[in-house]
Amino acid sequence: PILTWASQLVNHTLYVHLQPGMSLEGPAQPQSSTVQATFEVLDFITHLYTGAEVHRVLDVRILLTNIRTKSAFLPPQPTSVQNLAHPPEVVLTDFQTLDGSQYNLVEQQLERYATSCCSCCLQLASFRVAIPGLWDWRAAHGAHGCPIILHDQSRFPRGQVCNAAGVWLLMQAMGGTFDRLHDAHKVLLSVTCILAQEQLVVGIADKDLLKSKVLPELLQPYAECVEHLSEFLVDIKPSLTFDIIPLLDPYGPTGSDSSLEFLVVSEETCRGGMAINRFRLENGLEEHASYQVQLLQDLSHKENEEDKVSSSSFRQQMLGKLLRPPHRPDGSVAKWLKDLGAFVIDSDQLGHRAYAPGGPAYQPVAEAFGTDILHKDGIINRKVLGSWVFGNKKQLKILTDITWPVIAQLAREEMDRAVTEGTEAVRRIVERDGLSEAAAQSHLQSQMSGQQLEDQSHVVLSTLWEPHFTQRQVEKAWALLQERMPKTHQAVD
């Protein structure tokens, strides 16, 4: 129920700050208290991120600044105001007064507490909400709810805390692709940040390690992964020192760095963790201690998608969707390409040639639509012709049956001319660079890599799977294209 309420109010980032047992009724400034990092707390964090999968519009981030492992060596907790990547505009709590009074006082205290914890927007607003279905915290703690800090507009939860021994770890390591940071990544990162006390080394798979991934062309570039990962980590636990590095082999620094004490793995990567420890033993190093995080199940996965929350499934879901808005090239772009040596075929010019007096489409069009579409000088008035055919499918088909084959033939003739000129280009390369004719031809016709094609594509389709799955991608892409097109353009097509 928490995320359902929040999704109705929050546009993007939802920060969650757990403060069980805090009271907002007294006159004193509310203070942040430490929550022990027990298995129950870790389970609650996992549960909350699992629920966020149903509301993917929300970028949920559970702040870990006050969640600590139990140790005699804990340093003093910092009290400085935290600068979040997205300063909260609204702060909400499920705190309820015993008698329903002091409503304004509670909101004032909530705002005071929020601004003492993190940087907020100047126009910060606060609200109390009654969220049905939550645990009865008064019975559990003898006090009342917990404040929740949210970006845009929202409200939020609380978790049960039990006494249990924690662990003390200075340096930890973990790795993965972290492609399009999702909720399963967030669970893994959150658990790691709670266990780490000083430094966290995060390896992001790069280059050869990505070749076997599903649809590697759609993977986020390494720099983007680093940017998003850094923002998330600094938001949830700014007291840690983060070292984000590229992983170029399966072991990374965990195979050789003796200062790394702990390795966090998932159910899926636990074998990799065992391989790292074997590698360390073979090289005279001690084994890592490790902590295994459970996978998040994707209850809405479709055919060919994994049953766990996975970046691979997200990349499959991108197929057929518009990746980036198309840019209509103007005359200057065509001119620049021509100046660089490209052979430019302008379809608009071909259309003008086809309609011009003496052109291959002129007489058939004039006979089909009559002299009313002609200017006094005999040139076809394309505005008048357009007004006749747009919105009239029968008339439009008559026109396209005449003009499309003509323009296609003109385009083929232009392409033949480009091939002829390309032969001349081969001769020039041979003379200029001293290459063989075959090498020069290969130089001209070398194909772009899959990544280069994706970088220049607006929609990507893949034939990796069965034909019916590819057909569904095509149907999805076509339907989304129809939604993006104005109705007048749909009529033309």
Q: Model confidence over 194-228: pLDDT tens digits?
A: 888 888 888 898 888 888 888 988 999 999 999 99
Categorize the per-residue pLDDT at 143 as very low, low, confident or very high, splitting at 50, 70 and 90: very low
Which pLDDT does position 337 carry in this prediction?
58
For the chain, how far is it from start to end, CA to CA, in angstroms?
46
Superfamily of chain region 331-447:
P-loop containing nucleotide triphosphate hydrolases (3.40.50.300)
* Residue 6 CB partners (closer than 8 Å, separation 6+): 14, 55, 58, 150, 154, 155, 156
* Residue 441 CB partners (closer than 8 Å, separation 6+): 426
> How far is Cα 205 from Cα 149, in angstroms, rounded to an integer?
33
**pLDDT(295) > 80:** yes
Q: Pick from 379, 398, 401, 378: which is nearest to 388 by CA?
A: 398
**pLDDT(3) > 70:** yes
> How far is Cα 194 from Cα 167, in angstroms, rounded to an integer?
10
Beta carbons of 115 and 126 less than 8 angstroms apart = no
Domain boundaries, the chain: 2-150, 169-318, 331-447
Mean predicted confidence (pLDDT) in 348-355: 88
> How far is Cα 222 from Cα 177, in angstroms, rounded to an integer?
9
Q: Pick from 174, 187, 176: which is nearest to 312 by CA?
A: 176
**If phi over 0 gives left and psi between -120 and 50 gives alpha, with beta otherwise, what is residue 228?**
alpha
- Greatest Cα-to-Cα distance within the chain, rounded to the nearest angstrom: 96
Mean predicted confidence (pLDDT) in 357-374: 90
Q: Pick from 365, 300, 283, 63: which is nearest to 190 by CA?
A: 63
Higher local confidence (pLDDT), 23 or 229: 229
Taking the CA of residue 260 as centre, how many other CA atoms within 13 Å lie in the half-sphere pointing to its CB? 26
- Fill in the amino acid letter for 156: F
Q: Residue 432 CA to chain centroid, in angstroms?
A: 46
DSSP string, 15-28: EE---TT---SSSS
Categorize the per-residue pLDDT at 483 as very low, low, confident or very high, splitting at 50, 70 and 90: confident
Reading the block at residue 142, the tokens are 């003898």
Mean predicted confidence (pLDDT) in 338-359: 82
3-class secondary-structure state, position 208: helix
Q: State the Rg of the chain over Cα.
A: 31
Reading the block at residue 257, the tokens are 């760095």
Which pLDDT does position 163 carry in this prediction?
25
Reading the block at residue 383, the tokens are 């505005």
Which pLDDT does position 100 carry in this prediction?
52
Which one is the CATH code of 169-318: 3.40.50.620, 3.40.50.720, 3.40.640.10, 3.55.10.10?
Answer: 3.40.50.620
**pLDDT(39) > 80:** yes
Categorize the per-residue pLDDT at 272 as very low, low, confident or very high, splitting at 50, 70 and 90: confident
Residue-averaged pLDDT of the chain: 76
For residue 86, give Cα distances in angstroms to 82, 90, 227, 239: 11, 11, 14, 18
Do 169-318 and 331-447 come out as alike in CATH topology?
yes
User: What letter would DSSP give residue 179?
Assistant: -
Beta carbons of 182 and 231 less than 8 angstroms apart = no
> How far is Cα 223 from Cα 104, in angstroms, rounded to an integer?
46
pLDDT one-digit tens code per residue, 443-461: 655 545 666 767 778 888 8
pLDDT one-digit tens code per residue, 183-195: 999 999 999 898 8
Categorize the per-residue pLDDT at 137 as very low, low, confident or very high, splitting at 50, 70 and 90: very low
Q: Other CB atoms closer than 10 Å to residue 297's CB: what's the count? A: 14
Beta carbons of 68 and 37 less than 8 angstroms apart = yes
* Residue 166 CB partners (closer than 8 Å, separation 6+): 36, 37, 38, 68, 69, 70, 71
Which pLDDT does position 447 carry in this prediction?
44
> How far is Cα 33 from Cα 80, in angstroms, rounded to an integer?
14
Containing H/E element for 200?
strand 196-205
| Of 101-105, 424-428, 438-442, minimum mean pLDDT range | 101-105
